Amino acid sequence: MNNTCDYRGTVLVAGSTGKTGLWVVKRLQHYGIPVRVLVRSARKAAVFGNTVEVAVGLVQNSADLTEAVKGCDAVISALGSSQFFGEASPAEVDRNGAIRLADEASRMGVRHFAMVSSIAVTRWYHPLNLFAGVLSMKYAAEEHVRSLFSRENRSYTIVRPGGLKDGDPLQFRLHVDQGDRIWNGWINRSDVAELLVESLWLESAKNKTFEVINEAEEVQESLEQYYGKLSN
């Protein structure tokens, strides 16, 4: 498996202790990229041993985020809500938290912001939105990221996956689309992580928003070709 890349810089991973975030950290380390993780408690960072820098903080707290992004070249967000109300709700995490993180990243000179969103984010009437408007919250964050990181010398990549599954990366041929036209489908979290990580150095990934699901089992060398299929 290829493990070379031209990318230089430290990457902050938000949502690092989540199922996708753990894969983002693994894939960054596969390519030898220095990682800083944002974690809600120092105890949770134990899973990484001493292989990463650790920033403890909540996405509710701008000062925590300023410290977390300081000196980072890029941010990858795999944040996600898990409760109807409170600290891990869609409004707090998927919208306000992601927006706050993007604001601090932009203010502190981060050059690239990559994030996980979801298929169907533009469809307010989708049943998933019954979970406290989670899709609409993600869409609001997407819009903010696009407006902040499409400026000069900045870039963004927004990955909208179908349903997430566990399993190793690069085991499936993928189907990518734009315009939020996919209604269902699955993808491994590890492939979402790989797409986010490859967005750090691929010019074809810059300033792209796209949907992605599995197409068929077929080992992949890299996921670069899928970025080549996207238009702006």
Ligand X SMILES: NC(=O)c1ccc[n+]([C@@H]2O[C@H](COP(=O)([O-])OP(=O)(O)OC[C@H]3O[C@@H](n4cnc5c(N)ncnc54)[C@H](OP(=O)(O)O)[C@@H]3O)[C@@H](O)[C@H]2O)c1
- Nearest CB to ligand X, comparing residues 82 and 150: 82
Maximal C-alpha separation, the chain: 45
Candidates 5, 9, 10, 18; binder of ligand X (CB under 6 A) is 18
Q: How far is the CB of 125 from ligand X (least distance, A)?
A: 17
Q: How far is the CB of 146 from ligand X (least distance, A)?
A: 17
Rule CB under 6 A: is residue 20 a binding residue for ligand X? yes
Q: How far is the CB of 163 from ligand X (least distance, A)?
A: 4
- Nearest CB to ligand X, comparing residues 2 and 60: 60
Rule CB under 6 A: is residue 189 a binding residue for ligand X? yes
Q: How far is the CB of 2 from ligand X (least distance, A)?
A: 24
**What whole-number distance in Å separates Cα of residue 119 and Cα of residue 183?**
7
Contact 33, 26 (CB under 8 A): no
Query: Hey, what's the torsion of the CAs at 143, 232, 151, 38, to 10 degrees?
Result: 60
HSE-up of residue 205 (Cα within 13 Å, Cβ side): 21
CB under 6 A: which stretch of 24-32, 55-63, 66-74, 146-154 binds ligand X?
55-63
Between 64 and 103, how does the x/- string for binding to ligand X read (CB under 6 A)? --------------xxx-x----xx----x---x------
- List contacts with ligand X (CB under 6 A): 15-21, 40, 44, 58-60, 78-80, 82, 87-88, 93, 97, 116, 118, 161, 163-164, 189
